[in-house]
Amino acid sequence: MKRTLVSGATAFALSAGLANAAAHEAANPMVGGAEMFADRNIIENAVNSPIHTTLVAAVQAAGLVETLQGEGPFTVFAPTDDAFGKLPDGTVETLVMPENKDMLTEILTCHVIGAAAMSDAIGGMIADDNGAHPVETLGGCTLTARMDGDMITLTDEQGNVATVTTADVKQSNGVIHVIDTVMLPAAEEAPMEEAAMDSDMSDEEMAMVDDVPRVGGAPMFPSRTIVENAVNSADHTTLVAAVQAAGLVDVLSSEGPFTVFAPVNAAFDALPAGTVETLLQPENKDTLTKVLTAHVVAGTLTADEIRRQERASRDGFYHLTTISGDALSARVVSSGNIYIYDESGNAYVLTQTDVMQSNGVIHVIEGVLLPK
């Protein structure tokens, strides 16, 4: 789920209340170098923080956007991208799978209080409770707030300790406190390490695990769908989060077949700052869908078939039409590598080809393909 889609995508447009927002700016700390406006809600501010891309994608996958845009008030302890990065490998990718939505929702709401609690109020409650104040969250778990010098810490039900690194980021519907560790429910309620493991492998898959190709360190089983395999790739967390936000899981889990040119996380990171965060906003779902489906071609096109079609062409390109209706062109260079050209004139090499799926094939690509 980590990191960042379209050339020319814009950040939030300032409303007619720009002058009023600027008046609040000085009173609010910046987060990840981004301005936080006290007259915007939790979601409107969070999507602009470059250190909360994983949290925003997770909130999207859990369907909590409308809740956190609501009247509230809420206090959100907001883990950074680095905080999610400390979880066991594969945890985030597993949690954003549709079948784990309830678990993801529980974890996220264990970071939310149904009231606006500023840091001085929390500190006062800690003092009143002799140094350890229980914090009841909307997710049903209890955090324990303490002071470490002049910093507030939170301890979850598994003993993980988070420090509030930026406090009192005021919102129109509450307050955000930035934290450096993800808070988890009790282990028996959310066995994170077990969730991160691919424990549903069949005996047949176990026997062939060493013989199938790996993408992002994960085995890709030809008996599984595009979505079932993609969620396990550590190199495709941004793509998976975007597919979730666009509502394309059912499409790419269907019979197909499809050929998917799958951009790696680094490809999304190379887009202009804020592009992915902007596209993940609900109002930009149509644009996000168009960009993602511009990476998908109907049918199963292997690398050899692309090379054959390119050799047979008159202009040295194999021209493709994606399911979005946009055009791609494939060209083979002297080394045998295949480059895919988009409508914007970008050309990106396929870094891994012929990752076969039960409903098509995935080719890993180094860049994001953009329609006009």
User: Domain range for residue 207?
Assistant: 199-365
| Residue 223 shares a structural domain with residue 155 | no
Closest CA to 362 of 258, 265, 267: 258
How far apart CA 319 and CA 31 sit, in angstroms, is 44
Residue 187's pLDDT is 67
CA-based diameter of the chain, in Å? 80
Residue 200's pLDDT is 64
Write phi, then psi, for 84 (nearest 5 degrees).
-65, -30
How far apart CA 301 and CA 87 sit, in angstroms, is 36
Secondary structure of 198-235 in the HEC alphabet? CCCCCHHHHHHCCCCCEECCEECCCCCCHHHHHCCCCC
Specify whether the backbone of 9 is left (phi greater than 0), alpha (psi in -120 to 50) or beta. Answer: beta
| Residue 147 shares a structural domain with residue 266 | no
pLDDT top residue among 198 and 114: 114
How far apart CA 137 and CA 111 sit, in angstroms, is 7
Q: Residue 357 CA to chain centroid, in angstroms? A: 23
| Residue 177 shares a structural domain with residue 220 | no
State which of 193, 220, 251 marks the end of a domain.
193
Q: Which position has the token pair 């059912």?
A: 250
pLDDT, tens only, 176-209: 999 999 999 886 533 333 333 444 677 788 888 8
Amino acid at 312: A
Q: Which of 197-206, 277-286, 314-323 has the highest mean pLDDT?
A: 314-323
| Residue 51 shares a structural domain with residue 86 | yes
Give the other-Cβ count within 10 Å of 356's Cβ.
Answer: 16
Q: Residue 342 CA to chain centroid, in angstroms? A: 24
State which of 164, 193, 222 marks the end of a domain.
193
Distant-in-sequence contacts of 202-210, Cβ < 8 A, 24+ apart: none
| Residue 35 shares a structural domain with residue 179 | yes
Closest CA to 320 of 349, 335, 337, 300: 300
Distances (CA, A) of 352 to 118, 316, 326: 49, 22, 23
Confidence band, pLDDT 50/70/90 cuts, at residue 107: very high
Q: Is position 83 within any domain?
A: yes
pLDDT top residue among 4 and 203: 203
Q: Is position 167 within any domain?
A: yes
State which of 172, 193, 214 marks the end of a domain.
193
CATH number, domain at 160?
2.30.180.10
* Burial (CB count <10 Å: 0-12, 13-18, 19+), residue 193: exposed
> Could you tell me the two tokens for 6?
């379209």
**Claim: this prediction has a pTM higher than 0.85:** no
pLDDT reading at 365 higher than 60: yes
Q: Is position 285 within any domain?
A: yes
pLDDT, tens only, 58-70: 999 999 999 999 9
